[in-house]
Amino acid sequence: MIQDDTQTPAPVRVIGCGMIAREILAVSDQLGFSHIDLKCLPAMWHHHPEKIAPGVDQAIEQAKSEGFEKIFVAYADCGTGGHLDRVCDKHGVEQIAGPHCFSFYLGNEEFDQQSDELITCFFATDFLARHFQTFLVKPLGLDRHPELRDMYFGNYTKLIYIAQTDDEQLTQNAKDAAEFLGLEFEKRLAGYGDLTPALAGAR
């Protein structure tokens, strides 16, 4: 009798940014993963990056207390200035490489090669195309004080929509966002980039 030695992977607690929750689930589905246990932290923390490292630290401690032996942090550095790296090192957990999600969606290597020409570009993803008003316009007060637009975005020349999906409505939303901000528009259909291999290793 031949024995089946394949084993279901142990559950993995993925601590992810709320901005990429939909994408984490989509990639997990593509990979056929059923062992991912996703814990999302507030997307709005990207307006307050000082909250990310301590929030992830607490979430890792909670995951350990719940019995998770495998934990993966679905954040890049995301403006923490290396503090998130130190949290992950302290706990011995892996995280997505890169400075931010725009980089790992495009591909960290490609982003790094183009860094000089991208320096005056503002980036949007499917998330921002979907939530432009609630995530950017209202929190920055641009709906109440339109004169702030040029203060915040005057040094940008172009909005690059790094798209995860080829969605007509999201593309139009991103175009509208570029027009609202007074920027040129470019779309790059990148898919999930480095998020896919990063999650593939979370097992």
Write out the two tokens for 193. Answer: 């980039």
What 3-state DSSP class applies to 124?
strand
pLDDT value, residue 202? 84
**What is the residue-averaged pLDDT of the chain?**
94
Q: How confident is the model at residue 2 (pLDDT cuts 50, 70, 90)?
A: very low
| Mean of pLDDT values over 99-128 | 95
Cβ atoms of 162 and 192 closer than 8 Å:
no
Q: Residue 68 corresponds to which tokens in the numbers above?
A: 């998770």
8 Å CB contact between 111 and 135: no
* pLDDT of amino acid 203: 76
Using alpha carbons only, how large is the chain's radius of gyration in Å? 18
The pTM assigned to this predicted structure is 0.91
pLDDT at 39 over 60: yes
CA distance 193 to 175: 22
Question: Whose CA is closest to 126, among 26, 14, 13, 15?
Answer: 26
pLDDT at residue 9, rounded to an integer: 79
Mean pLDDT of 132-147: 95
Tell me how far apart the alpha carbons of residues 39 and 153 are, in angstroms, rounded to a whole number: 32
pLDDT of residue 4: 42
Share of the chain above pLDDT 90, in %: 94
Give me the pLDDT at residue 12, please: 96
